[in-house]
Amino acid sequence: MWNKVGMGRNEKGLTEAIAEIAQLKEDFYKEVYVPGSADELNPELEKVLRVADFIELGQLMAMDALQRKESCGGHFREEYQDAEGETLRDDENFKFVGAWEYKGDDISKEELHKEELVYEEIKIAARNYK
Amino acid sequence: MSAAKNININLKIWRQKNASSKGSMETYKLDNVSTASSFLEMLDQLNEQLVNEKKEPVAFDHDCREGICGMCSLYINGRAHGPDTGITTCQLHMRMFNDGDTIYIEPWRSKAFPVIKDLVVDRSAFDRIQQAGGFVSVNTSGNTIDANSIPVPKDDADKAFMAAACIGCGACVATCKNGSAMLFVGAKVSQYALLPQGKVEATQRVLNMVRQMDEEGFGNCTNTGACEIECPKGISLENIARMNREFLKASVK
Ligand code: SF4
Ligand code: FES
């Protein structure tokens, strides 16, 4: 996550990350050892479920970063920057909030729903601190 | 401070499968514990060893690990939060122990705190007492007075602040020979009774909290003062006296 889904990310890294996480997930579900049982207080089971969530969240984050072909806020896609290395937004195609719909165990099947961002008071423009 | 070294210790830990089963003390040997580690890190190390041996790790409560949340709750060598004063279990360090020591670790023991598993007890009785205390009325008509602009005598503010330092860990109950929760309830009652904002519901609050405390099966105070000594936040017995005064005042109203 740090190396490939960090502050600066690119298509190659994100694609690799998704495959790596998928592999990690497979290994995790095959090899995880959980002491104790499910029908009593079991802090180890809690930890395992948390790790499972992190794996899923990690993969989804990478998927979302891959589809967003622009740089915006903390999401800096290295392919999308201007001559001075500043973020390059694409308001034409990515002015939306994304929500991924759960479609069962296979995370790659999840569906992206878009909620368009409509600004009435603010004029959309690139931010410039210079 | 001397440099950290590694020590080997023996542990006697209370193991109990669930609330209905009978527990017992089990013995474990743990080597190479750094004196720079915290007590809970030592337990993490033990659990790692147990997991590697495919045995069931010891369940214990913890959250912030910095003395503010009140989750950690261990009776160590016969003392709530272990052999140091003014600290919670998570703030206890292994440098308090020596090579070859045998350390006894038990859960809080009190009728109102049933054991859920191993060293974890159910302290929801405390939540119910707090809930019984109810709310504080605030004017939300748009003329809400900022808390900072309500004058509070410095002495009251200090005492309320000291009472509010209670983290609800339950060491007072665990340490009390009567299993009394009066230090905890005293702190909670005092915190509001001392401040102007808490005065509106003060009468009902103290009556309801004390009633809930009794219903939960906590014992009564006999002024022993053990709770004050073991309380990690130094909550003073004065708070119990204040609760009793508030209770008496409310009862004759
Ligand atoms: S009064 Fe002290 S010992 Fe009792 S619950 Fe509060 S902080 Fe813990
Ligand atoms: S773990 Fe939070 S006070 Fe000890």
Confidence band (pLDDT; 50, 70, 90) for B3? confident
Residues B27 and B79 in one domain: yes
CATH number at residue B158: 1.10.1060.10
State the pairing for strand pair B75-76/B79-80.
antiparallel
Domain that holds residue B223: 124-139+151-252
Residues B184 and B80 in one domain: no
Residues B100 and B37 in one domain: yes
Domain locations along chain A: 2-88
Spatial CA neighbour of B171 closest among B103, B59, B85, B55: B85
Please determine, for residue B166, whether its predicted confidence score (pLDDT) is greater than 90: yes
CA of residue B214 to ligand 2 center, whole Å: 27
Name which CATH class applies to A2-88.
mainly alpha
Contact B182, B220 (CB under 8 A): yes
pLDDT tens, position by position, B28-38: 999 999 999 99
Residue pairs between chains A and B whose CB atoms are closer than 8 Å: 23
Residue B233 falls within a domain, yes or no? yes
Tokens standing for B244? 């009793």
* Average confidence (pLDDT) over A66-74: 94
In angstroms, what separates the C-alpha of A68 from chain B's closest C-alpha?
Answer: 36
* Average confidence (pLDDT) over A106-126: 92
pLDDT of residue B30: 98
pLDDT tens, position by position, B200-221: 999 999 999 999 999 999 999 9
* Average confidence (pLDDT) over A5-10: 95
DSSP chain B: -PPP-EEEEEEEEEE-SSTTS--EEEEEEEEEEETTSBHHHHHHHHHHHHHHTT-PPPP---SSSSSSS-----EETTEET-SSSS--GGG-BGGGS-TT-EEEEE---BTTB-EEETTEE--HHHHHHHHHH-------SS-PPPGGGS---HHHHHHHHHHHT-----HHHHH-TT-B-HHHHHHHHHHHHTSGGGSTTHHHHHHHHHHHHHHTT-B---S--HHHHH-TT---THHHHHHHHHHHHHHT-
pLDDT of residue A1: 94
Spatial CA neighbour of B194 closest among B160, B171, B222, B228: B160
Contact B106, B75 (CB under 8 A): yes
pLDDT of residue A129: 76
Nearest CA in chain B to A37: B56
Rounded distance, CA B133 to CA B135, Å? 7
More reliable by pLDDT, A54 or A86: A54
pLDDT tens, position by position, B107-131: 999 999 999 999 999 999 999 999 9
Number of domains in chain B: 2
CA of residue B70 to ligand 2 center, whole Å: 5
- The residue of A41, A45, A46 whose CB has the most chain B CBs within 10 angstroms, and thus the best one to mutate to test that interface, is A41
Confidence band (pLDDT; 50, 70, 90) for B1? low
Is ligand 2 within 6 A of the CB of residue B62? yes
From the number of C-beta atoms within 10 Å of its C-beta (0-12, 13-18, 19+), residue B118 rates as: buried
Rounded distance, CA B81 to CA B89, Å? 4
More reliable by pLDDT, B2 or A3: A3
Residues 80-139 on B with a CB inside 8 Å of A are 116-117, 120
Confidence band (pLDDT; 50, 70, 90) for B253? confident
pLDDT of residue A116: 95
Residues B17 and B73 in one domain: yes
Q: Which amino acid is at A66?
A: L
User: What whole-number percentage of chain A has pLDDT above 70?
Assistant: 100
* Average confidence (pLDDT) over B95-111: 97
pLDDT of residue B2: 66
Rounded distance, CA B245 to CA B200, Å? 17
Number of the ligand closest to the Cα of B91: 2
Closest residue to atom 7 of ligand 1, CA basis: B166
Residues B69 and B159 in one domain: no
Residue B115 falls within a domain, yes or no? no
